[in-house]
Structure 1
Amino acid sequence: MANMQKKKSGLSFTWPWVLGLVLILLVVGGWMLKPESEEAKNLTARLQITVIEELGEKSNMDKERIVDISVYQVSSGWDAEFILNADKGFTTISTKQLMWQQAIAILAPLSEFGELKDISISWVYPVAGPNDKVTDQSVMSFRLDKTTRDQLIWENVEPSLLPDIAFDYKEHSVLNE
């Protein structure tokens, strides 16, 4: 009988904690699933229009230019991430140079968006993997902060300098073949 009382009191002590944990998870989960704000949707739409005006709706490989645009509110504005399909050049070198040129072409008007702090761009391109299976992969990515962008005179920026002025610049080995 005493043994049963111990089990019962142990269960009664555990249930409030389990119930509290479930409630916390529901509240946090509901907050995380909250739809984007109107401000974020409007900014995303304006960014999409800017990219399409500068680079067109499709790449020269007939893929939608914009894979994804994500905006994130930060303390003093917004950060934006662009995932874009790259155009194919005549050679690997010309393909890389085309990515640099097009990045400069969209960074100039995007820099006029005063609310944008960091802008990250990732270029997607078909890459042959094992067994010659071709998949779209990020082949170049980088980030530019507002301070750096504000110091540049975009008409004078040589595209080949992009790796030197960007933060977190990464390039897939396929661009060096």
Structure 2
Amino acid sequence: MKTKKPFYKRWWFIVVAVILGLSIIGEMFDDGSTETASTKKVASTNSEAAKPEANSKEKQEKSSQEKPKEESKKPEIKKPKEAPKSFDDTVKDTVIKELGTKANTGKKRLVQEGSSDIDGGKSVVVTMAGDELFTTKSTLRQMETNSAKLFEKLFKDKKVARVTLVWRQTLVDTYGKESDDNVLKIELTRATANKIEWKNFNAENFEQVADNSWVHPAMLKK
């Protein structure tokens, strides 16, 4: 006697059940993957949105750190250029450099200095206090020696055409009164100065070679 198979043992039922099971499983996986992808998108969006904020904060911090440095920089103050020295100032500097600011008597070395324009250049006149030595003769020789030093230096300036050196000493008259008087004057032109070999020159010879010279009688006493 043939019996009818239960419906759950028939082949078509099995096929339908398998198909339904597979579709249910597929939907479960699709939902999970979709959910994961959306989660990743949200996370990436949040991280990208956070980056500009972080960058802006860093820029603000850097700018706040750099501002004090810029504010601390003080503007550079340029020193004014020194005006070039005048011709007379150069002459004065030469006298002081060669003979000092004071004579051995304590008096100021440079009494007076002046210059004027002449044909061929500058005419210079310098009046100075002389050193005092033990004798009148040695005092005179010292002034002549210092004159040679000064002539050599002053004529190195090509603008100088003539130099007159005047020396002063303290003299005592017959009444015992003291006064500072001119006691020696020597004048040289450039033409004469160019003939002198200064390193071998004997300063006592100014009387013979100078364009103009004069000695106070008091300096010639023995």
Shorter-normalised TM range: 0.7 to 0.9
Q: How large is the RMSD of aligned CA atoms in angstroms? A: 1.5
Q: CA deviation at 1:107?
A: 0.9
Q: Identity over aligned residues, as a percent?
A: 22
Tell whether 2:137 aligns with 1:93. Answer: yes
> Gaps (5+ residues) in structure 2?
1-82
Equivalent residue letter for 1:122: V
Superposed displacement of residue 75, structure 1: 2.9
Report which of the two structures shows the higher radius of gyration computed on alpha carbons. 2
**Is residue 105 of structure 2 the alignment partner of residue 61 of structure 1?**
yes
Aligned residue for 1:141? Answer: 185
* Structure 1, unpaired ranges of 5+: 1-37
Q: Distance in 2 between matches of 1:74 and 1:174?
A: 33
Q: Specify the alignment match of 1:117 in structure 2.
A: 161
2:220 matched to 1:176?
yes
* Paired positions, count: 139
2:185 alignment partner AA: S
Residue 95 of structure 1 deviates from its aligned partner by: 0.1
Q: Which residue of 2 aligns with 1:161?
A: 205
* 2: CA distance, partners of 1:107 / 1:159: 11
Correspondent of 2:128 among 81, 84, 97: 84
Runs of 4+, deviation exceeding 6 Å: none
Structure 2 distance, partners of 1:75, 1:93, is 37
CA distance in 2, matches of 1:162, 1:59: 22
Higher relative contact order (CA 8 A, sep 6+): 1
Alignment partners' CA distance in 2, 1:160 and 1:83: 20
Instruction: Report the secondary structure of 1:147's partner residue.
Output: helix
